[in-house]
Amino acid sequence: MNSIIDEIIQEMLKVLDNSQLIQLKQVLKEKLGNNTQSNIKKNNESYISDYLAAKQVEGCSKKTIDYYQATLKMMFSHLKKHAQKITTEDLREYLGTYQQSRNSSRVTIDNIRRIFSSFFSWLEDEDIIIKSPVRRIHKVKSSAKVKETYSDEDLEKLRDNCRNNRDIAMIDLLASTGMRIGELVNLNQNDINFDERECVVLGKGNKQRIVYFDARSKIHLQNYLAKRKDTNSALFVSLHSPYQRMSINGIENRLKSLGKKAGIGKVYPHKFRRTLATNAIDKGMPIEQVQKLLGHERIDTTLHYAMVKQSNVKIAHRRYIG
């Protein structure tokens, strides 16, 4: 019986919207003797709330959850339709209007499209809608930009402009581990294993992983900690009393200041991460190991971080192809 109903619904997909399809499915079930009740129709806010709860269980960060919520609420506010009545054309019109009114990049628009895709696919999985209206909205193509990395000279300039043990230890740790800035600020002194030159960080989705640092980082970290006079358990703290744990903004501002002194444009924490990935791949580290090192779930993400040097492509061509 259910297979017949599904065939009928499939035939009507191009004619009816989700709300109408759900009503049709319910009528067919009632008339054909299957009285199973469909999901109770909720308002959009309830669907958003349920969806975000599911994403939270999956391990999404609060920052990600907040971004998803703001994006979905803005869309519903503009369309003024129930989720079951939203069509592909509605979403295309919204994305087009959004891009024009805000002069948004293609990357931004595709990020919004991905959130819509995730949300409506979840509604489909929960049998709240029959078919996601985002299925026919394809990925927004954008030109691949070569993202900047630090050169060896840049890193030495940054180190030369450090006037305290904390800053040079911080730069060395970022450069040798490739950890995220959020992972760095959460580190405590007892998280550091100097014998093995490694530490455990808490990454995205509350997942732990081990990262490794070099001998230079070990020496500078030990020098910094040996001269600390405070009792704060945090690995990096402010230079003056009350010696509070450094925040993300605090580290970003400090790096920006050091970059300005060194005459280096665009100095920020994430650039260390991209530099590590690029250098690792450039020197022959298998991409799967780089993925593990950076804590990426998908290898595609790792490839976006890394930029293989053109000179090495030329050398590899001569070596393998002739």
Phi, psi values for residue 219, rounded to 5°: -65, -45
How far is it, in rounded angstroms, from Cα 255 to Cα 170?
Answer: 10
Distance linking the first and last C-alpha atoms of the chain: 64
* Per-residue model confidence (pLDDT) at position 317: 64
Catalytic residues, by residue number, are 180, 204, 270, 273, 296, 305
Q: Which fold has domain 152-319?
A: hpI Integrase; Chain A (1.10.443)
- Is residue 35 pLDDT above 80, yes or no? no
Q: Which fold has domain 39-125?
A: DNA polymerase; domain 1 (1.10.150)
Inter-CA distances, 268 with 3, 43, 149, 246, 254, Å: 56, 42, 10, 15, 9
- Is residue 43 pLDDT above 60, yes or no? yes
The per-residue pLDDT for range 135-185, each reduced to its tens digit, is: 999 988 876 666 789 999 999 999 999 999 999 999 999 999 999 999 999
- Is residue 279 pLDDT above 60, yes or no? yes
Inter-CA distances, 299 with 35, 286, 313, Å: 46, 11, 20
How far is it, in rounded angstroms, from Cα 200 to Cα 235?
Answer: 13
The per-residue pLDDT for range 61-112, each reduced to its tens digit, is: 888 899 999 999 999 999 999 999 999 999 999 999 999 999 999 989 999 9
* Per-residue model confidence (pLDDT) at position 190: 95
Angle in degrees, CA 39, 55, 19, rounded to 5: 30
> Where along the chain do its domains lie?
39-125, 152-319
Does the model's pTM come out above 0.85? no
What residue type is 190 in one-letter code?
N
Cβ count within 10 A of residue 11: 9
